[in-house]
Amino acid sequence: MIMSAIMTTADVADSSGHPLMARVEGDVLEPATPFDMGTGAINAERAMDPGLVLDARFTDYLQFLCSVPGVDDAAVLRSVGAPCPAPPGRGSPPRLGSDLNAPSVTVSSLVGSRRVNRFLTSVGAQNETYTAYVRAPDGVSVRVTPSQFKIVPGDTRTLRIVLTTTAPGNAFGFGEIVLRGNKKHTVRIPLAVFPSGRRSHE
């Protein structure tokens, strides 16, 4: 929860309001992507009052580890002392790395559409209404449901994010979902998506 608070409230602009920059080669600077800066520069004051947090616990990270291609159940058991959870039942979608309830979304090979859920818990002091704003990565459409929701302190809401390839490419595209609350909270979730024309391991 602390990690989420730090990440979702990070700044993506400097004190002058200009985008954070990254050195790409030599002295060439370009606007930084999530692969350069993570979620941005820590804003300690805002992190103390994030409004919403995304809570991932031990079992969530265990499921994430068990979904990594090439990692077998025996290796997981030796490493962390706990077995992989039983696989989903027949007809259920397989677990994917993008299912981890992290304050970012990364999909390394998007073919067609994929639904990603994020679970948001209110740590605010008051009831608050949030509205979702989307900046979609290149080659991808993003639909967020609900696009507006009210949440009370301590409650958890599910945010359903549907990513759809609109133009397959050969590079990651970057975007974000920004949840703005009517009590002045702002929660930013970066998106990094590779819109692929063929299937591969995530």
Q: Is the pLDDT of residue 174 over 50?
A: yes
> What is the domain extent for residue 76?
57-85
Q: Is the pLDDT of residue 24 over 80?
A: yes
Please give the pLDDT value at position 66: 87
The closest alpha carbon to 11, from 35, 46, 54, belongs to 46
> Which secondary structure element, helix H or strand E, spans residue 21, and what is its range?
strand 21-25
Using CA atoms, how far apart are residues 34 and 38, in angstroms rounded to an integer?
4
> Which secondary structure element, helix H or strand E, spans residue 187, and what is its range?
strand 186-195
Same domain? 61 vs 146: no
Same domain? 63 vs 119: no
Number of domains in the chain: 2
Q: Is the pLDDT of residue 96 over 80?
A: no
Same domain? 66 vs 118: no
CATH of the domain at 162: 2.60.40.2310
Please give the pLDDT value at position 200: 47
pLDDT for 52-65, tens place per residue? 999 998 988 888 88
- For 181, how many CA atoms within 13 A lie in the half-sphere containing its CB? 23
Using CA atoms, how far apart are residues 134 and 115, in angstroms rounded to an integer?
15
Same domain? 80 vs 18: no
Please give the pLDDT value at position 44: 96
Q: How confident is the model at residue 92 (pLDDT cuts 50, 70, 90)?
A: low
Average pLDDT for 100-112: 93
Using CA atoms, how far apart are residues 129 and 122, in angstroms rounded to an integer?
11
Same domain? 105 vs 37: yes
Q: Is the pLDDT of residue 178 over 60?
A: yes
pTM, to two decimals: 0.87
Q: Is the pLDDT of residue 199 over 70?
A: no
In a domain, 175, yes or no: yes
Asked if residue 146 has a cis previous peptide bond (ω within 30° of 0), the answer is yes
Per-position b or e across 98-107, b if 16+ CB within 10 A of its CB: bbbbbbbbbb
- Helix 73-80 and helix 58-66, axial crossing angle in degrees, nearest 10: 150
pLDDT for 120-132, tens place per residue? 999 999 999 999 9
Average pLDDT score, the chain: 91
